[in-house]
Amino acid sequence: MNSRRRFLRNALQAGAAGATLGRFGVLNAFASQAAASSSYKALVCVFLYGGNDSNNLIVPVSTSGSNYSSYAAIRQNLALPAPSNSAAAGTTLLPIGFGNDTYGLHPQLAALQNLWNTKRLAVVANVGTLVAPTTRTQFLSPPSTSTLPNNLFSHSDQVAGMQTATPLGFATNGWGGRLADVIAQLGLNPISATFPALVSVTGTSLFGTGATTHPAAVPPGAAIGLQGYDTSLAAADRLFALKSLLSQELLQTSSGAALIREAASITQNGINDSDKLNVALKGAKGIGTAFPTTSIGQQLLEVAKLIQVRSALGMNRQIFFCSLGGFDTHSTQLTDQATLFTQLNAALVSFEQSLDAELSDVAGGVTLFTESDFSRTLQPNSNGGSDHAWGSHHLVLGPGVQGGKIYGKFPSLALNSNDDAGGEGRWIPTTAVDQYGATLAQWFGVPKAYLATVFPNLANFQNASKLPPTYPVYADPTNVGFMG
């Protein structure tokens, strides 16, 4: 019965929060004013929906493993021009150095090139959903269906896998939500702070739903509160009547009213606490940094605002979920991805500027990272695009990042190699999303003893002696090393 009720509660929180209260945010509590800036930390996830083709995010130019000619020969019409000092800005790959190797960032990511050079950006190579370390031989002839994640190359299943770190079965909560659960259990936010540790600025997501906690949903740039109410006496009376009705629903005790009680609780919390969030935001100085008017730009502006009012909300730890869609580039990939990366580049540079300006006192405690469904095939299709693949390269940025480095193992850009799941350049991940997330979680303040609560599959990657030779060997398999 308890598990059924928990599932019911999570389903209501994820569904009703977005559908019923998405316009004014699901804000379930207002915390005490006790956050200490010196210990503040925030994680900001930017999910690139559709499967970002990371083969054009970062490209080997001259490295010990692969080079530009190998890339260009297979990418064909999707190949980006090699770095050139004489070419117009934004037309060729942007060179970045790592040891004796040279890689190239997508031409529209000039701000990220600067962050790399100032050691505020790291790349984590070939990350993805894994049940356990997997070789090409195992992929082609798996010993059982339990050795591979659910429905590889499926958008919905791999989005779920990346957001939940649960590659098999059906998960009702995400690893961001479970991280919020542990934050509450450890008391990393003040005991009086009941404002949600996880805030989504892009609607509801499985990533943010916890087993014992639930996220807030704050719409960027929109009024936070019920629509259709003002300061008139009539509106105040109507609002009082609504709150009274909700209170009556919460007094119901019969099991048959469980759905009604859960919905009433969410609605009541949203109404009460959106008012308090408005008070906190009105008392803030505001963010002076100019952010782009794109969806991702406004989402990151909202994150900056919520970080700015951390003390008014009593928060020492916060997790944010943002997203940018449109990366399912089966066709017109070069133009579509360039447009999306232009938006991402502008939003990220504004966010980093706000860390150095309005949020400078906690800048070192704010880290942004990317996730996506999967990457795409290195070999193009016949429609000017690429198809669903597996392992993907991801970005981690912020003042606290050990930047200017590539972590993990970059795949060999050769079809039918040991890194290729088939014959089209679908890279078998060599760093599990569990390890990627666990690195962030430990920097965030989660002790190793609690990692299994957030990443129950992590144990499958902790025995270095059982790793295939294609896998990187980390000194600590729970820590990829990109955080200080």
Adjacent-strand bridge partners of 44: 320, 368
What's the Cα-to-Cα distance from 356 to each of 284, 320, 359, 365, rounded to whole Å? 17, 19, 6, 12
Cα 122 off chain centre by: 15
For helices 175-186 and 433-444, the axis angle rounded to 10 degrees is 30
How many of the other CB atoms lie within 10 Å of CB of 244? 10
More confident call, 8 vs 54: 54
For 200-224, write each residue's pLDDT tens digit.
Answer: 999 989 999 999 988 888 989 865 6
| Cα separation, 311 vs 137, whole angstroms | 53
Instruction: Please give the angle made by the CA atoms of 480, 482 and 484, to the nearest 5 degrees.
Output: 115
DSSP 382: T
Furthest-apart CA atoms within the chain: distance in Å: 74
Query: How does residue 466 score in pLDDT terms, banded at 50, 70 and 90?
Result: confident
Which one-letter amino acid corresponds to residue 143?
P
How do 101-105 and 94-98 pair as beta strands? antiparallel
Instruction: Give 326's pLDDT tier (boundaries 50, 70, 90).
Output: very high
Block residue for tokens 């130019």? 61
* Average of per-residue pLDDT across 111-132: 97
Residue from 462, 458, 472, 376 nearest 131 by CA: 458
Query: In the prediction, which pLDDT does 7 show?
Result: 37
Strands, sheet with 101-105, edge to edge from the N-terminal-most edge strand: 58-62, 101-105, 94-98
Q: Using one digit for the tens of pLDDT, what is the confidence trace for 255-314? A: 445 555 555 555 555 555 566 677 777 878 899 999 999 999 999 999 999 999 998 888
| 218 neighbors 204 (Cβ within 8 angstroms) | no
Contact criterion met (CB below 8 Å) for 478 and 438 = yes
pLDDT level of residue 237 (50, 70, 90 thresholds): low
Residue-wise burial string across 121-144, b where 16 or more C-beta atoms lie within 10 A, e elsewhere = bbbbbbbbbbbbbbebeebeeeee
Q: Where are the domains of the chain?
A: 2-466
Q: Read out DSSP for 295-355?
A: HHHHHHHHHHHHHHTHHHHT-SEEEEEEEE-----SSSHHHHHHHHHHHHHHHHHHHHHHH
Q: Work out the number of other CB atoms within 10 angstroms of the CB of residue 75.
A: 22
Rg of the chain over all Cα atoms, to the nearest angstrom:
23
* Cα–Cα dist 201/368, whole Å: 14
CA dist 315 and 32 (Å) reads 8
pLDDT at 388 over 90: yes
Question: Are the C-beta atoms of 317 and 324 separated by less than 8 Å?
Answer: no
If pLDDT is split at 50, 70 and 90, which confidence band does 229 have?
low
Amino acid, single-letter form, for residue 274: S
Residue at token pair 């019923």: 20
Q: What does pLDDT average to over the chain?
A: 86
Closest CA to 187 of 447, 382, 413, 436: 447
The pLDDT assigned to 236 comes to 61
Stated as kind and residue range, the H or E segment containing 45 is strand 41-48
pLDDT in the model for residue 101? 97
The predicted model scores a pTM of: 0.87
Question: Measuring CA to CA, which residue among 200, 198, 202 is closest to residue 176?
Answer: 198
Tens digit of each residue's pLDDT (9 = 90 or more) over 423-452:
999 999 999 999 999 999 999 999 999 999
- Write the Ramachandran bin of 169: left for phi over 0, alpha for psi from -120 to 50, otherwise beta: left
Q: What is the pLDDT of residue 266?
A: 56
CA–CA separation, 337 and 59 (whole Å):
15
Bridge partners for 46 per DSSP:
322, 370
Average pLDDT over residues 362-369: 97
Q: Which two tokens stand for residue 271?
A: 């109404």
Of 440, 408, 410, 401, nearest in space to 116 by CA: 401
The closest of 26, 30, 23 to 226, measured between CA atoms, is 23
